[in-house]
Amino acid sequence: MKNLKLTTGSVTSAYLISLGAVLVSYYGIRFWSLWRKAVAACRVAPSWNWRLFDVSKNLRLMFPDYPKRKLGDPHAGFRPYAEAGSTVLATIPLETLKPAIWFSNAEACRQILDLHETRFRKDMKGYELLLFLGPNVVASEGALWKKHRRAVRVSFSEKAYALVWDETGRTLDEWFDAIQSSGGSEIEVDTLTSLSKVTLNIISSVGFGEHFPWNNPVQTESNRLPLSTSVVEAVPLTVLRALLPNWAYRLPFQSFAKAKLAFEEMERNFTEIIKAANADTSDSSHKRGAEQGDILLGLLQANETADDEQRLSDREVLADIYILLLAGHDSTSHTVAFITAIFALYPDIHARVREEADNVWPGAHINPTKRKHSAYKDDFQRLIYTQAVFHEALRHFPPVSVFPRLVGEDTVLPGTKQNTSKSTGYEFSESFSVPLSVGDLVVPDVYALHMNPHYWGANAADFDPTRFLAPDWPKHAFMPFSSGPRACLGRGFATAEASRIIATLAQDWDLECTNELRNIPWESRKEQLLQWRQEVTMTPVNIKLIFKKRPGDT
């Protein structure tokens, strides 16, 4: 009997080993077949490399991607293209084995983004991160996207930008008062945290008429959060909320419970606001408010006048509000945070913005009320160098560095080979065609495009706002807000908001590095201050600066 058991066990083991060998062989052969197919598809590009994760999926936001500093790493910039001598390269992700063809020349990037719905479309699997509240103006395609865009775009107008301008001034006054009330002549400020609060206040006030107090109220005993608290706590947790399944929030982790409460309360608060606004859209006072630029009221009134099949549900309006809230504060606060670091690193840039602000608002650093009646239609257009600084920051730190698209019909895109030139960096030497088939994944690499010396000169890596003052600056190679019909609706909003923040900061405050950074070489200081990581948008890692109030006699 003992021998029988051994024999039975041996048979079972042999069976499992055989089954394992069959499975390994099957998946090994399948992997090899898909790998060879992917490699063959990459032959349209002069060079390719592997990566762990697919550029159009969300795992790359949760885990470190490899290899570093190679094509597909957001920090690589234009380097892989320069090393290969080509504006067209490819990657093969082990996650999906679906090759991606990357472009860093303006001609191809423009075609991909401008020819939306005809030849190129969004891969919606890559936008699941933004779909936890449902389809919205960013995460939708086809007729559904047109329905969302029709309702949302009405709210972005010169009147809205004027409202943004005024609200930005009011919010900055509150922030500056809070800094000064902390005492001392030198105050260390976490600029990213503070600016996130500033821009969140602005979009909340302009977007749906809710101005948050600078010091947020605490949670009430009824376990209900006011809108300000729920939004402040929910927005930074967007990636966590989107990627974790609903059952995960029942696990006994305090951070999960906090995230769950914040999003539930934010949704409840927004639902109540939408319900109240819907009930009052026929009121004349609300109509005046919408005409003055209120985004939510404008959206609801546009929605009310739409045909039944084009009308958004309250849930769809909620999804759009959250996307506008996220995009309306996240990208601007990050870009301006980078600019505060630039001010600390490049005092000459700070001084020139200050000089421009002094010309627009003489003496306002002594008496801030002189900015109180600043009008968008008069003053915004005078902040020319300030806007150049904002554009240069967007060139170096585009909120979204890539815009993956799926090919909708067989087509051909242009590529170029390049030679090294000491005087101008990299020069185009030969054009070639890149044939593409339906279903191929193409990637306009905006960050690399912004660093391409063919368009931006041999000093492309330098921070030089004056390049945007030249009448012939390469507009076709500048795409921080994407391009074409899917370009960001809020670019005018962001430019007005950022320009006033940048100019006011420069006029009122001296910004310096912390003592820890002052004692290291300038290049190391720059590297530490301008570190960033890729989340939903390009996010600064650690920008803490010393704020000193500008002397009144300066």
Least confident of 49-58, 78-87, 116-125: 116-125
* pLDDT score recorded for residue 207: 83
* pLDDT score recorded for residue 191: 96
Closest to 147 measured CA to CA, from 320, 274, 282, 275: 320
Residue that wins the pLDDT comparison between 305 and 3: 305
Between CA 488 and CA 481 the distance in angstroms is 5
Beta partners for residue 402, in sequence order: 445
10 Å Cβ neighbour count for 432?
14
Q: Give me the count of residues in the chain.
A: 554
Beta partners for residue 434, in sequence order: 413
509 three-state secondary structure: strand
Q: Give residue 219's pLDDT band: very low, low, confident or very high (50, 70, 90).
A: low
Query: 225 near 261, Cβ under 8 Å?
Result: yes
Closest to 401 measured CA to CA, from 342, 476, 344, 480: 480
* pLDDT score recorded for residue 512: 97
Q: Give residue 253's pLDDT band: very low, low, confident or very high (50, 70, 90).
A: confident
Tens digit of each residue's pLDDT (9 = 90 or more) over 416-462: 998 766 555 666 678 999 999 999 999 999 999 999 999 999 999 99
Between CA 496 and CA 492 the distance in angstroms is 6
DSSP 415-466: EEEEEEETTTEEEEEEEEEEEE-TT-EEEEBHHHHHT-HHHH-TTTTS--GG
pLDDT (average), residues 531-545: 91
Q: Which residues, at least 6 apart from 151, have a Cβ–Cβ distance to it below 8 Å? A: 299, 302, 303, 306, 312, 317, 320
Place of tokens 């301006």: 336
Residue that wins the pLDDT comparison between 287 and 552: 552
Residue that wins the pLDDT comparison between 132 and 333: 333
CA distances to 30, 62, 124, 185, 515 from 315, in Å:
43, 28, 19, 49, 49
* pLDDT score recorded for residue 288: 42
* pLDDT score recorded for residue 381: 97
Whether pLDDT at 209 is above 60: yes
Residue that wins the pLDDT comparison between 331 and 418: 331
Range of 244-248, 385-389, 419-423 with top mean pLDDT: 385-389
Q: Give residue 38's pLDDT band: very low, low, confident or very high (50, 70, 90).
A: very high
Residue that wins the pLDDT comparison between 102 and 24: 102
pLDDT (average), residues 146-159: 90
pLDDT (average), residues 542-550: 95
Beta partners for residue 187, in sequence order: 547
Range of 15-19, 26-30, 198-202 with top mean pLDDT: 198-202
Read off the amino acid at residue 2: K
The two three-digit tokens of residue 175, written as one number: 């922030």
pLDDT (average), residues 218-236: 73
Place of tokens 């423009």: 110
* pLDDT score recorded for residue 64: 84
Range of 221-230, 258-267, 447-456 with top mean pLDDT: 447-456
Whether pLDDT at 216 is above 80: no
Q: Which residues, at least 6 apart from 80, have a Cβ–Cβ distance to it below 8 Å? A: 47, 49, 70, 71, 89, 448
The DSSP H or E segment spanning 92 is strand 88-93
Place of tokens 């902040």: 383
> Please, what's the b/e burial string for 182-208 (b: 16 or more CB within 10 A of its CB; e: otherwise)?
eeeeebebebbebbbbbbbbbbbbbbb
* pLDDT score recorded for residue 396: 98
The pLDDT mean for the chain works out to 88
Between CA 387 and CA 380 the distance in angstroms is 9
The two counts, helices (H) then strands (E), for the chain are 20, 13
* pLDDT score recorded for residue 25: 81
CA distances to 268, 337, 548 from 413, in Å:
47, 36, 52
Within 13 A of 492's CA, how many CA atoms are on the CB side?
15
Q: Give residue 179's pLDDT band: very low, low, confident or very high (50, 70, 90).
A: very high
Please give the angle made by the CA atoms of 83, 89 and 91, to the nearest 5 degrees.
115
The two three-digit tokens of residue 191, written as one number: 């600029």
pLDDT (average), residues 484-502: 96
Beta partners for residue 48, in sequence order: 90
Between CA 230 and CA 218 the distance in angstroms is 10
The response to whether 488 counts as a known ligand-binding position is: yes
149 three-state secondary structure: helix
Q: Give residue 280's pLDDT band: very low, low, confident or very high (50, 70, 90).
A: low
pLDDT (average), residues 3-11: 60
pLDDT (average), residues 125-137: 86
**Beta strands 405-407; 120-121: pairing state:** antiparallel
Whether pLDDT at 86 is above 90: yes
pTM over 0.95: no
